[in-house]
Amino acid sequence: MSVEFLSLAEGTLAYQRQIGDIGQAGGGKPGVVFLGGYASDMEGTKAQYLAQKCAESGLSFVRFDYRGCGQSPGKFTDGTIGLWREDTLAVLDQLTQGPQIIVGSSMGGWLGLLLASSRPERIKAFIGIAVAPDFSEELVWKNLTDKQRETLLRDGEIYDEDAPPDFRIPMTLKLIEDARAHLVFSSPCPIACPVRLLQGMRDKEVPYTYAERIAKHIASDDVQITLIKNGDHRLSTPENLDMLWQMVAGFI
């Protein structure tokens, strides 16, 4: 698939799209939209795997880079949950037709939950991989030391001190403050579509108990959690990817 660009009121999104055998508006096949994680792009293992499997199955598929990520113009540190939520809405509204299966990884799972809440009539199912709603508050802000909070408030950003220098990704005060207007756990989550959650029990970024918390919080009664005992946060082994595809295939 070639990279195309979607113009927004403010900014541009890079995306790749393939149209299924029946087309996005026809037949009984839903399309698939992939939402990547924090600081990731559409060339990741899971995105490429889904693109291939959807092509083999004649399904429409869209993957894209949030503004400031990957091939989308902008500064990563200007990104917020609110801004990237607008990106996901634009992709769904302008690049897809008919029912869609939303696959969200980590932060993309948070955005996917927001998307499913905003466009319930368009969502066939939501599949989450190590879903991390409210991570900025629950997993970052609440776990910062006093010194880290001082640095964040003073400099506007902090870095993971344990990460290798080449992989230190900033967490901005702007994102944390903006995210408080988009928290999932702070109010009822009206999602009624089927939900499937894939979660590793050795995930160091998102505790596996998070999946149970999500399942209890959303309105849908059709929720299933698959725990992978040796699974990490990425869940990108061939076995993990096969599990993911079986979840997608279950809604085709």
pLDDT for position 114: 98
Task: List the catalytic residue out of 87, 134, 178, 203.
Answer: 203
Domains and CATH numbers, the chain: 4-249 (3.40.50.1820)
Q: Is 105 a catalytic residue?
A: no
User: Side-chain half-sphere of 123: how many Cα atoms within 13 Å?
Assistant: 25
The answer to whether 81 touches 136, Cβ cutoff 8 Å, is yes
- The H-or-E segment that residue 111 falls in is helix 107-118
Task: List the catalytic residue out of 40, 105, 106, 117.
Answer: 106
Measured CA to CA, the distance from residue 102 to residue 87 in angstroms comes to 14
pLDDT for position 25: 45
Q: Which pair of tokens denotes residue 152?
A: 């964040």
Compute φ and ψ for 228, nearest 5 degrees: -110, 110
Strand partners, 101: 32, 125
Task: List the catalytic residue out of 60, 136, 182, 233.
Answer: 233
pLDDT for position 192: 95
Residue pLDDT tens, the chain, 252 long: 799 999 999 999 999 999 987 544 445 789 999 999 999 999 999 999 999 999 999 999 999 999 999 999 999 999 999 999 999 999 999 999 999 999 999 999 999 999 999 999 999 999 999 999 999 999 999 999 999 999 999 999 998 776 666 667 899 999 999 999 999 999 999 999 999 999 999 999 999 999 999 999 999 999 999 999 999 999 999 999 999 999 999 998
pLDDT for position 23: 44
pLDDT for position 165: 63
Tell me the whole-structure pTM to 2 decimals.
0.95
Q: Is 203 a catalytic residue?
A: yes
pLDDT for position 168: 77
Q: Is 106 a catalytic residue?
A: yes
To the nearest 10 degrees (0 to 180), the angle between helices 238-249 and 45-56 is: 50
